[in-house]
Amino acid sequence: MILDRRPRALAPRVLAAGAIVAACASCAENHGPAAGILEAALAEPRAYGKVAYLADRIGPRLNGSASYDAAVLWAVEEFRRDGLERAWTEKVMVPRWVRGEERVRIVSPVDASLTAAALGMSVPTPEGGVAAEAVEVESFEGLSALGERARGKIVLFNRPMRRGAGPEWGYGAASSLRHRGGIEASRLGAVGALIRSIGTARYRLVHTGMTGREDGVPSIPYAAISEEDADLVHRLLAAGETVRIHMTLGCRTEPDVEQANVLAEIRGREKPDEIVVIGCHLDSWDLGTGAIDDGAGCAIVMESMRIVRSLGLVPRRTIRAVLFANEENGLRGGKAYAETHAGELGRHVAAIEADSGAGRATGWGVAAGAGGEEIVRRIAKPLSRIGAAEVSKGGGGADISPMRPAGVPFLLLRQETEHYFDYHHSPADTLDKVDPQDLQRAAAAMAVMAHGLADDEATIPRQEPEAPKAR
């Protein structure tokens, strides 16, 4: 869910793993815990095994599903197997949305089946589906301009996401159409909505994701179609044809279900009440197996805890791993954490989120008070060996965002994301997209940063407290 694009050409060259181990072994004494962490991390890589288990053995982890519960059980046991005795769960009530039958066809002027998937939290179509004329827009402004012409129609939001683009053509602009497009189309009397898949590969993939609802506005069925299919609709409309679409969605929302966040801690030796949180989300969409979103982030977080524990390092402050529930369709895990731990947030000295896939780690984004970036830069310095020492402004993540009003400093593990949106939320989010060595280096980087922040004499200046943002 995190957009972070930086060109591949700017990335520093990375040494082969063997070279790193040799280099660190000879300089560990002079460079302290960070060198030891890097050495241990690269000598005994275990991160890939963790994401492999989540993706291949447990599979998709949609909120409210039995497989999400299986992931929770596995994560607690895995933490304990890794020597983290302080591992536990905290209750979260999550929405349970279930995908059903889904069929979308052009029925006139041609008969063509479209590759489609309901957006998460969409309502179903009425019995027999919905058939209507399609109208196409690229933006909310375009929708407003349609006005009455949207009434009784199926609105196609046809806005491409471009690889490496700025905000206008990036994930943010497209995902706001996914989130609010159905609501705004319904206000104009549309009977259904479709969105061009938000992705950057052209393999006729369909990318799901959450869509919103609003009290007082009737919800209409809303599905994604592949980019190629959106192009077909566009070409027919551009040729002056009246395009009729029939869509059938059998998805449904059931009552909320009790599930859990998973937590594990390495208690600090001097200031155990001061806490560095490292987080990821354990839930995933249902089309793929949640390998890059966010099995990889969970492997990074869990492996970084294992590495610190395996070295017997006990930092000044506490490091707490949080595997959040329900990032994808509700953020209830992040909200529950901030509520349950409200009394502690003033002593949360930093929160880091790993939710940018499995790409090579390049550095850190920081959102903190003045001087925060300098502290992070100093702690990250040893990571120049693996090309992960770059520090820049701008950190955070969906799961940790509910801690923002308390002024908790945020860090983001920056990773190469050139291909992230090729697969994100699609059936192609599978284990083969994870490179074991890149993943292990990301875990090593997380371990160095989490331990460094927890052990440093200084703490990062806090962000200005701010009211929570609507999501």
DSSP state of 58: I
Kindly state whether residue 224 participates in binding Zn ion, applying the rule CB under 5 A.
Answer: no
Asked if 295 and 55 count as a contact pair (C-beta separation under 8 A), the reply is: yes
Q: Shortest distance, CB of residue 293 to Zn ion, whole angstroms?
A: 4
Tell me how far apart the alpha carbons of residues 267 and 248 are, in angstroms, rounded to a whole number.
52
Q: What's the burial of 432, exposed, middle or buried (CB within 10 Å: 0-12/13-18/19+)?
A: exposed
Q: Which is nearer to Zn ion, 157 or 171 (CB)?
A: 171
The SS3 assignment for 146 reads helix
Among residues 355 and 373, whose Cβ is nearest to Zn ion? 355
The H helix count followed by the E strand count for the chain is 12, 16
Active site residue 327: yes
CB 279 within 8 A of CB 353: yes
Determine, following the binding rule CB under 5 A, whether residue 294 of this chain makes contact with Zn ion: yes
Residue 1 CB, nearest approach to Zn ion (Å): 4
Within 353-392, the residues that bind Zn ion by CB under 5 A are 355
Q: Does residue 283 touch Zn ion according to CB under 5 A?
A: no
Query: Please, which residue, 355 or 422, has the CB nearer to Zn ion?
Result: 355
The token pair at 276 is 């560095």
Round to whole Å and give the CA distance between 14 and 445. Answer: 13
Over the window 337 to 356, marking each residue x when it contacts Zn ion by CB under 5 A and - when it does not, the resulting string is ------------------x-
Residue whose CB is less far from Zn ion, 229 or 355: 355
CA distance 333 to 323: 9
CA distances from 76 to 100, 144, 333 (A): 31, 49, 16
Work out how close the CB of 467 gets to Zn ion at its nearest, in angstroms, rounded to a whole number. 24
| CB-nearer residue toward Zn ion: 114 or 411 | 411
Stretch that binds Zn ion, among 8-16, 203-211, 286-294, 318-326 (CB under 5 A): 286-294
Contact residue for Zn ion among 4, 78, 82, 293 (CB under 5 A): 293
Angstrom distances, CA of residue 270 to CA of 56, 315, 349, 457: 40, 8, 14, 11
What tokens were used for 430? 């599978």
Q: Furthest-apart CA pair in the chain: how many Å?
A: 74
Residue 286 in the binding site for Zn ion (CB under 5 A): no
Among the candidate windows 107-115, 189-197, 291-299, 378-386, which touches Zn ion by CB under 5 A? 291-299
- Active-site pick, 327, 328, 390, 418: 327
Only segment of 78-86, 226-234, 288-296, 408-416 that touches Zn ion (CB under 5 A)? 288-296
Compute the least distance from the CB of residue 327 to Zn ion, in Å.
6
- Binding part of the chain for Zn ion, among 17-25, 290-298, 314-322, 365-373 by CB under 5 A, reads 290-298
Instruction: List, by residue number, the catalytic residues.
Output: 327
Applying CB under 5 A, which residues contact Zn ion? 1, 293-294, 355
